[in-house]
């Protein structure tokens, strides 16, 4: 996939040895659709193939959102089989940022919700603007985080804190996510772009061979999560067949409170 093929993202090279992937759907709060998933995978492969790239930064276009998540209404139109495959696709694409030997920095400004938060979970280092807002709203819709969130978040901040974020579907400030250890640093909003670039630039200027082997070693020591990811995908597909999901999506569109009946 060449740069000209990208419609929902763009690749930038702001400084030497750093490749930046920009989620570029600002009018849609950089929400993640199937096209973007495919392009994220292609962009990472392109940066991995470049001998000059030693680190990757992910960020959203504009300052309203890193990503507000997935397209809820399109997800609701899927059947069970499509839901399972869609979950597996997101898990694989996002997992690529964990599997790559290149260190990955997520620069988070504005909303980082749902699938956007799940994408940021796969970065090695996360920094945020003081205006950033985090959350997993899937339970408000009768869904669950289906792109790795049920497995990865608890490994990053612990089971108790992860369950609070998932089950409450609340919004959390950048300061709170920093307290939980999710973020490396929180920067002043006006200075955020420069500060985030400095962090990523420092990583890109590091020893590439040592960084590559360090990431491999740490990844190998990571607890096995494949079984949990498969259960997550199957559950995501199952939930697409429920009346609760239809109620959740209707309430989302009409800005009402959902009434879940367990059906």
- Provide the whole-model pTM: 0.88
**Domain tally for the chain?**
1
Judge whether 103 lies within some domain. Answer: yes
Is 82 labeled as catalytic in the residue annotation?
A: no
What range defines the domain where residue 44 resides? 3-191+205-209
Domain CATH number, residue 78: 3.90.226.10
* Distance from C-alpha of 32 to C-alpha of 121, rounded to nearest angstrom: 15
- Over residues 82-140, the pLDDT tens digits come to 988 999 999 999 999 999 999 999 999 999 999 999 999 999 999 999 999 999 999 99
Closest CA to 201 of 119, 127, 133: 127
Q: What is the pLDDT of residues 3-31, one digit of tens each?
A: 568 999 999 999 999 999 999 999 999 99
Identify the pLDDT of residue 235: 74
The two tokens of residue 28 are 């849609």
Which residue of the set 118, 133, 140, 232 is catalytic? Answer: 118
* CA distances from residue 106 to 67, 85, 86, 210 in whole angstroms, order as listed: 11, 26, 23, 21
In a domain, 240, yes or no: no
Q: What is the mean pLDDT of residues 23-50?
A: 96
- Asked whether residue 262 is assigned to any structural domain, the reply reads no
Catalytic residue from among 38, 48, 85, 138? 138
Distance CA 84, CA 78 (A): 9
Q: What is the pLDDT of residue 261?
A: 72
C-alpha span between 243 and 60 (Å, rounded)? 33
Indicate if 38 belongs to the active site.
Answer: no
Residue 228 lies in a domain: no
Band of pLDDT at residue 65, cut at 50, 70 and 90: very high
């Amino acid at each position: 996939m060449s740069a000209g093929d990208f419609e929902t993202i763009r690749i930038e090279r702001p400084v030497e040895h750093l490749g930046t992937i920009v989620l570029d759907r600002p009018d849609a709060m950089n929400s993640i659709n199937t096209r973007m998933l495919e392009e994220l995978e292609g962009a990472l492969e392109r940066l991995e193939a470049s001998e000059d790239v030693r680190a990757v930064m992910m960020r959203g276009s504009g300052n309203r959102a890193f990503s507000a998540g997935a397209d809820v209404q399109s997800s609701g139109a899927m059947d069970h089989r499509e839901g399972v495959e869609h979950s597996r696709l997101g898990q694989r694409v996002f997992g690529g940022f964990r599997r790559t030997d290149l260190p990955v920095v997520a620069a988070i400004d504005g909303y980082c919700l749902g699938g956007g938060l799940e994408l940021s979970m796969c970065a090695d280092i996360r920094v945020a603007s003081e205006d950033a807002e985090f959350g997993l709203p899937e339970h408000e819709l009768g869904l669950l985080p289906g792109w790795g969130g049920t497995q990865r978040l608890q490994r990053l901040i612990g089971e108790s804190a992860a369950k609070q974020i998932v089950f409450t579907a609340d919004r959390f400030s950048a300061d709170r996510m920093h307290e939980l250890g999710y973020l490396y640093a929180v920067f002043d909003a006006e200075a955020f772009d420069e500060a985030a670039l400095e962090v990523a630039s420092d990583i890109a200027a590091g020893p590439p061979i040592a960084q590559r082997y360090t990431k491999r070693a740490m990844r190998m020591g990571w607890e096995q999560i494949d079984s949990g990811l498969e259960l997550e995908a199957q559950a995501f597909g199952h939930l697409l067949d429920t009346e609760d999901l239809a109620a959740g999506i209707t309430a989302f569109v009409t800005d009402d409170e959902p009434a879940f009946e367990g059906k």
